[in-house]
Amino acid sequence: MKPALVCSGIGVIVLFLLFHHPPAPSAASAPIPYAVKGDKLGMPLAEFEQAHPKACLNRDKTTRDILCIDDITYAGTQARELAMFFDQHLYSISLSFDQMDSSQVFTGLKEKYGQPTVDHIEGDTTYIWRNGISSIMFSTNDKPSSTHVDFTLDELLKKSLAEQERVRAAARKSDM
């Protein structure tokens, strides 16, 4: 092998590595938070209140955690929606259904989000979808009105749980 060919081959590789940049990830390839009928995880509380004017009427404005309740339809069934906010941003939507509607809701979730993973938590079968930044958990058992679908924004959920534990720890400490 001639030295000039080896050098030129290495030179081509070096030039390729220096000047060839893979395309930056597009916004389309980055995961986006799940949404429920236009209520996108991470959305500001004010935006949610515009869409659901009666859902947050009795909220405590002194806390970082806010709970709003509304009755909606989802996958063609009646549902109770609990929307949870931390620092004014939506981090969880929990939907409760009658047990008899569970197969219709589950079928709709599979059609929209694909096949879930399966877990068994505290005697309930839980189906889980994840997209890297948010999760959906569908769980049901034999009790009436016990079908739940929980949409969560994972990082904000962790922050909310940490704040709740901090508040509980402060309450324990002050009650001694």
* 42: in domain: yes
CA 75 to chain centre: 18
* 24: in domain: no
Segment holding 80, helix H or strand E: strand 77-86
What pLDDT is attached to residue 41?
96
* 170: in domain: yes
Q: Where does the chain have alpha helices with state H?
A: 3-19, 45-51, 102-113, 154-174
Is pTM beyond 0.95 here? no
Q: Is the dihedral of CA 29, 35, 38, 44 positive or negative?
A: negative
* 142: in domain: yes
What pLDDT is attached to residue 91?
94
* 15: in domain: no
CA 138, CA 166: separation in Å to the nearest integer?
A: 28
Residues 121-170: pLDDT tens digits?
777 788 999 999 999 999 876 665 568 899 999 988 888 888 888 888 88
Q: In what order do the strands lie in the sheet with 124-130?
A: 65-74, 77-86, 89-97, 147-153, 134-140, 124-130, 117-121
Residue span of the structural domain in which 105 resides: 36-174
* 57: in domain: yes
* 135: in domain: yes
* 20: in domain: no
User: Which CATH number characterizes residue 131's domain?
Assistant: 3.40.1000
How many residues are given for the chain? 176
CA 8 to chain centre: 52
Number of domains in the chain: 1
Residues 84-109: pLDDT tens digits?
999 899 999 999 988 778 889 999 99
Residue type, 115: Q
